[in-house]
Amino acid sequence: MSDKPRVFVSRVIPDAGLDRLREHCDVEVWPKPTPPRRDTLLDKVRGCHGLVTMLSDKIDENVLHTAGDGLKVVANYAVGYNNIDVAACRKHGVAVGNTPDVLTDATADVAALLMLAAARCFTPAAASVRDGGWKTWAPMDHLGVELVGKTVGVVGLGRIGRAFAERCRGGWGMNVLYTANSPKPDADRDLGARRVELDELLAESDFVSLHCPLTEETKRLIDAPALAKMKPTAVLVNTARGEVIDQDALHAALKENVIFSAGLDVTTPEPLPTDSPLLDLPNCVVLPHIGSATRHARGGMAIMAAENVLAGLAGRPLPHPVG
């Protein structure tokens, strides 16, 4: 057996990261396109010194205990880390890292894509071309809402929220409202943005886009009462995490035209079952969690995850730490 540190990588990630890890570590990569089952994950982490994990891997006390005292670092291949019990990692002396910034533009672009698609009735319009429903140019079909000069509400004006707000301001001259834990004077100055309470943001915005992390505080932040505060012409976009929305309440709101439409990159659960009632709604666009899915972002994430693992194994501070 080699005396190199053992690292388990729970999915195939770009070579840019794997090659770096392989220079210094014994690396096992889970080769299948679906995540390892829980019992398999527990089996694989046993005796590992480092882990590269995906948002689908729950890293909790049980995983840390099973991995054993040799585990030094968990590098999440994502910026969100709601799948990791960070407090338990701290207790076990395990460093935790993530992959911020490199995926910001890619994810902000998907938020913009969903905003446009949901605003312009993309789902039924594109389907009508394929299924023969498109009979002629029709003056009253697929009437959407326009973006120029409207108000966008950004829930969570962090890295991705700000990049999305810049697109809205620069591209369509939108007014920007936002919520965040702390004021953002740069955004107020550069984008003419205004920090408001969530209720005001929901009531005033023509477009609401979610960019906060999933925490106990943000779980089901957008529930039935929140949806009822939105304009009937409003479009809701979620590229954050599925659980930030009460999905049953969203389904009811879309069906009853409480809001105009929604664009979702993230759902509960993932994958969304093909018989989900959301998929029957013409005013809902759903993507399979592709926010960071560009070659640039995923390659950069792989390098950052490898850098985190190598630093953690060497006992150095992680270059991209969580918390």
Residue 293's SS3 state is coil
CA distance 317 to 320: 9
Annotated active-site residue 20? The verdict is no
Nearer to ligand NAP (CB atom), residue 29 or residue 54: 54
Does position 153 bind ligand NAP by CB under 6 A? no
Annotated active-site residue 270? The verdict is yes
Residue nearest to ligand NAP (CB): 158
List the one residue from 205, 239, 283, 308 that touches ligand NAP (CB under 6 A): 239
CA distance 118 to 263: 5
Does position 216 bind ligand NAP by CB under 6 A? no
Site for ligand NAP in 18-47 (CB under 6 A): none
From 264, 261, 243, select the one nearest 253 (Cα to Cα).
261
Q: Which stretch binds ligand NAP (CB under 6 A): 21-29, 180-188, 256-264, 311-319?
A: 180-188
- Phi, psi at 179, each rounded to 5°: -120, 155
Nearer to ligand NAP (CB atom), residue 182 or residue 274: 182
Does position 73 bind ligand NAP by CB under 6 A? no
Nearer to ligand NAP (CB atom), residue 124 or residue 213: 213
Nearer to ligand NAP (CB atom), residue 49 or residue 207: 207
List the one residue from 204, 243, 246, 265 that touches ligand NAP (CB under 6 A): 265
- CA end-to-end span of the chain: 35
Work out whether strand 95-97 and strand 50-53 pair parallel, antiparallel, or are unpaired. Answer: unpaired
Length of the chain in residues, anyone?
323
Pick the catalytic residue: 90, 270, 295, 296? 270
CA distance 74 to 94: 7
Does position 274 bind ligand NAP by CB under 6 A? no
The pair of structure tokens assigned to 247 is: 């999905």
Longest dimension (CA), the chain: 72
Minimum distance, C-beta of residue 148 to ligand NAP, in the bound complex (Å): 25
Query: Residue 17's CB: how many other CB atoms inside 10 A?
Result: 27
Query: Residue 109's CB: how many other CB atoms inside 10 A?
Result: 17
> Which residues make beta-bridge pairs with 321?
97
Does position 182 bind ligand NAP by CB under 6 A? yes
User: So which residues are the catalytic ones?
Assistant: 241, 270, 289
**Where along the sequence are the contacts to ligand NAP (CB under 6 A)?**
79-80, 100, 103, 107, 155-161, 179-182, 211-214, 217-218, 239-241, 265-266, 289, 291-292
